[in-house]
Chain A
Amino acid sequence: MSFVFYVLATLTVAGALAAVLLKNTVHCALALTVAFAGLALLFLNLDAQFAGFAQILVYIGAVAILVVFAILLTRGSDTPTDGVFSRTWLAGLAVAAAVFAVLGWAVIQTANLLPKSAPAPTVTVQQIGQALVGRYVLPLEIVAVLLTAAMIGAVIIAMHEKNGAPK
């Protein structure tokens, strides 16, 4: 457990907490970007360079921008006067705390079974690319079709006007 891990873990958890707790929705989106960056740095700390940079490109570069666009298009940046949490927030918090208790208990209980350390895997991006077009070519093609369908679907859903006059 190195010092770097503690710093990155604190950054990630603080970003996630801020993304969930802040009142202003735009601030939430920015805190979400911090949490995504912390997770990408954790990936890099785990010697998963490709996944780390894919995380930065996809989440910080695309998903966070999409969230900010959606907030601005829906005027979600106006903080509601009657609170940002649902009426049933206590039940939601209890469920989340119970889930964390079970997950944390499972991790602590199995601490002795987990491998103590492992040699750093030497996986190059070339190997990942060859695996993607070799063993994993079918999932890759399905993901390509899924992404195309999702993008077309999102555009069609979002551009349809209620008064029956599509742009």
Chain B
Amino acid sequence: MSQVTPLGGYLLVAALVFSIGLAGALTRRNAILVLIGIELMLNAANLNLIAFWRYGSHPEALTGMMFAIFSIAVAAAEAAVGLGLVIQIYRHAKTTDLDQMNRMKG
């Protein structure tokens, strides 16, 4: 790890968190845990944006920072709608187990 630059270290951490979130979203059965995995993936992308902003050539232009801030806002909206959908599905099907949600007809 001695030759890894600070930016490379942040990118590796972001890649690791993204992969953990992807593994969670793909392997868990509870719909809420899948949403948690998606949130982890979004956060890893934000870490990439902030790291590139910090070590980029024009941090005063604020592009990476603005991208991350808008990404946080959109992720909050996504979480609210996603959890609302999970609650409604639970009312309808009495389960949040994705393996049992195998039909689209209401």
A interface residues with partner B (beta carbon < 8 Å): 1, 5, 9, 12-13, 16-17, 19-20, 25, 28-29, 32, 35-36, 39, 42-43, 46-48, 50-51, 54-55, 58-59, 62-63, 66-67, 69-71, 73-74, 76, 80, 83-89, 91-93, 95-97, 99-100, 103-104, 107-108, 111, 114-118, 121, 123, 127-128, 131-132, 136, 139, 143, 146-147, 150-151, 153-155, 157-158, 160-162
Contact = CB atoms under 8 A, between A and B. Distances in A.
Interface range on chain B (Cβ under 8 Å from partner): 35 or more
A19 B24 contact: yes
Nearest to B89: A74
Contacts of B55: 114-115, 117-118
Contact of B50 (A48, A87, A153): A48
A129 to B, nearest CB: 11
A162 to B, nearest CB: 6
Contacts of B51: 46
A107 B53 contact: no
Contacts of A35: 17, 40, 43
Contact of A123 (B36, B40, B62, B79): B62
Nearest to B54: A46
Nearest to A62: B76
A150 B74 CA distance: 9
Interface of B: 1, 3-13, 15-30, 32-33, 35-37, 39-40, 43, 46-47, 50-51, 53-57, 59-60, 62, 65-66, 68-70, 72-81, 83-88, 90-92, 96-99
Given A66-B79, A76-B96, A95 B26 contact: yes
Contacts of B65: 48, 50-51, 123, 128
B27 A93 contact: yes
Contacts of A50: 65, 69
A115 B7 contact: yes
B22 to A, nearest CB: 4
Contacts of A5: 6, 9-10
Contacts of A97: 19, 23
B74 A16 contact: no
A154 B84 contact: yes
